[in-house]
A = this chain, B = another copy of it.
Amino acid sequence: MAGPVDGLPPLVDHHCHGVLRHEPDAGTFASYLTESDRPPAAGTTFFDTQTGFAVRRWCPPLLDLPAHCPPADYLARRRALGPDETRRRLLRAAGIGAYLLDTGLPGDLTGPGETAAAGGGTGHEVVRLETLAERTAAGFRAAAGRAAGTADAGEFTEVLAGAVAHAARTAVAFKSVAAYRHGLALDPTPPADDAVRDAVRGWLAAGAPRLTDPVLLRHLIALAVATGRPLQLHTGFGDPDLRLDHADPALLTGLARTTAGTGTDLVLLHCYPYHRQAAYLASVFPHVYADVGLTLTHTGPRATAVLAEFLELAPFGKLLFSTDAYGLPELYAVGAALFRTALAGVLGEWTASGAWSAADARRVGAMIAAENARRVYRLPAGED
């Protein structure tokens, strides 16, 4: 009998990142298995995590090794194959038809087209607002050839608005990492023009460092919302820069209210351990969506239970698959495999008990895997 994920369409990975172009050493490889930016505790290794175990489960067979082989064997085989062949094998196995790739992270990483080419799909860009602002400021200051002064604040504000509008022509979405930069307890209304100019002036005068000013973070969100492109928002867990309880998506309730009716969708990324809160917001605000990525990748065999928790309140048309893969092509393979496993687990259990019909289960599986994202990001239906 066909299972609920047989016949699933190619996945739409609506939030991911580039992978390293070159072979990482063992320490670099392990550092991508965790959201931490710090070394492992003495006596421990990042391989001893659900992500590490999931990589060892799913990836060695794709490189002709037995599942759960020791990390050293896996890394040796990876080196022998080289980064291009490794990437090709791991990405092909993921079965992803469209990659919506956030290009705002540093490093020698593959871009949207390059990633998609290796995986056999199409690539699309997601523009990270804070990175766009920082890059625009760097260019503006270099062009001005001097520290930006009072007169420049208004000019830069226009340049920045132009940069967001320009990006919206080709990007499929914007992304905000305000959760990292300030926390999500932001005033949900756009800041006044003069407040923006004052904040811009202060930021430029300070040399346009890492953007953390809440006025500017709110202004970027307002600029993005005005474009009509879906806005992805980091919520929930991440690296230790973030204060977890300040990343609770419930803190975005005000933004959900002020953006209702604008025609712009908000997509809550990651969400964990507040995924039930995110699902609630997706259930009561028509323009709010939630994402299961990252969370499934990091929870291994618990991905099934966590996906089930998402599916308590989230309407089935409001949940989106992603991998949030970053740096390692392994994270694409693992994210896709855990998603398929988790989806098969929950849908299989619910159809077996009679709670859901098999036809409904197949339909909902396809919605979460690809169709919801195609609708939200206005991707062509059959092209990818």
**Hey, which bits of chain A sit against chain B, CB under 8 A?**
34-46, 48-50, 53-54, 57, 67-68, 237, 239-240, 243-245, 248, 250-251, 253-254, 256-257, 260, 272-273, 276-277, 280-281, 283-287, 298-302, 305-306, 308-309, 311-313, 315-318, 349-350, 353-357, 359-360, 364, 367, 375
Determine the residue in chain B with the shortest Cβ distance to A361: B53
A37 (CB) vs chain B CBs: closest residue: B284
A364 surroundings in chain B (CB, below 8 A): 48
Known contacts A34-B315, A41-B317, A243-B250, then 16 further A-B pairs from the complex at CB < 8 Å, ordered by chain A residue: A38-B285, A39-B286, A40-B286, A42-B286, A42-B375, A49-B283, A49-B315, A50-B312, A68-B356, A68-B357, A244-B280, A245-B277, A272-B313, A301-B349, A301-B355, A302-B312
Q: Report how far A34 CA is from B316 CA in the complex, Å.
A: 13
Q: A49-B316, A298-B312, A301-B353 are in contact. Are A277 and B273 (CB under 8 A)?
A: yes
On whether the beta carbons of A245 and B237 are closer than 8 Å, the reply is no
Q: A276-B273, A313-B298, A318-B41 are in contact. Are A240 and B53 (CB under 8 A)?
A: no
Task: Give Cα A53 to B356, complex, Å.
Answer: 7
A285 and B250 alpha carbons, distance in the complex (Å)? 25
Q: How far is the CA of A308 from the CA of B356 in the complex (A)?
A: 21
Complexed CA–CA distance, A315 and B37 (Å): 14
Could you tell me if A354 and B44 are in contact, using CB atoms closer than 8 angstroms? no
Contact (Cβ within 8 A) B245 A251: yes
The interface residues of chain B lying within 8 Å CB-to-CB of A283 are: 34-36, 49
Name which residue of chain B comes closest to A237, CB basis: B280
Measured between alpha carbons, how far is A286 from B36 in the docked complex, in Å? 9
Looking across the interface, which residue of chain B has its beta carbon closest to that of A298? B313
Is A43's CB under 8 angstroms from B317's CB?
yes
Across the interface, A253 reaches (CB within 8 A) one of B34, B243, B273, B359, namely B243
Q: Which one of B248, B301, B316 lies within 8 Å of A356 (CB-CB)?
A: B301
- Select one of B45, B53, B244, B318 contacting A355, CB under 8 A: B53
**Measured CA separation A355–B302 after assembly (Å):** 10
Assembly CA distance A280 to B248 (angstroms): 14
Chain B residues within an 8 Å CB radius of A273: 276-277, 280
Of chain B, the residue at the smallest CB distance from A308 is B302
Choose from B41, B49, B301 the contact partner of A286 (Cβ within 8 Å).
Answer: B41
Pair A245/B248 contact, Cβ less than 8 Å = yes
A281 to chain B: closest CB distance in Å? 8
- Separation of A257 and B240 alpha carbons in the complex (Å): 9
Q: Report the separation of the CA atoms of residues A280 and B41 in the bound assembly, to the nearest whole angstrom.
A: 14
Q: Specify the chain B residue showing the minimal Cβ separation from A317.
A: B44
A287 touches B41 (CB 8 A): yes
Cross-chain contact B251 with A315 (CB below 8 angstroms)? no
How far apart are the CA atoms of A367 and B39 in the complex, in Å? 19
With A53-B355, A356-B53, A360-B68 as given contacts, are A48 and B280 in contact (CB-CB < 8 Å)? no
Bound Cα distance from A244 to B257, whole angstroms: 13
Q: Given B49, B57, B240, which contacts A354 in the complex, CB threshold below 8 Å?
A: B57
Q: In the assembly, what is the distance between CA of A356 and CA of B315, in Å?
A: 32
Give A318 to B260 CA distance when docked, in angstroms. Answer: 40
Residues of B within 8 A of A301 (CB): 349-350, 353, 355-356
- Knowing A53-B355, A243-B253, A277-B245 touch, does A299 contact B312 (C-beta < 8 A)? yes
Taking the closest CB of chain B, its distance from the CB of A300, in whole angstroms, is 6
